[in-house]
Amino acid sequence: MGRPKIKITLVEQKGTCPCHRGHKVGDSYDFDTERGKLCPMAAHVAFPYIDILRYGGEIPGQKEGTAMFCCPDVETLNIFKIEKYS
């Protein structure tokens, strides 16, 4: 069966500055093949959520198979959605 695939999408920006990496709302990345395109700070925050979803866990308060997280850059505050799929 293999492990599930992971898609990361920028869904909202709440900060006052544009993303320093150039990400825009609507940008999506396949975690396995495009993770190098994702901002390293955002990727660092995403890793624990990805592991939880890939290996059978769920994130409390989140829709099944998904997780929302925020970039740690306080000027940008990009909001990303992680989705697990087959």
Cα gap 8→85, rounded to integer Å:
11
- Each residue of 16-54: pLDDT tens digit? 999 999 999 999 999 999 999 999 999 999 999 999 999
Q: How many domains in the chain?
A: 1
**Continuous H helices in 1-86:** 31-34, 40-54
Q: What is the pTM of this model?
A: 0.94
Q: Give the pair of three-digit tokens for residue 20.
A: 């320093």
pLDDT of residue 47: 96
Cα gap 17→76, rounded to integer Å:
5
Domain range for 21: 5-85
Model confidence at 1, in pLDDT bands (50, 70, 90)?
low
In DSSP terms, 8 is beta-bridged to 29, 82
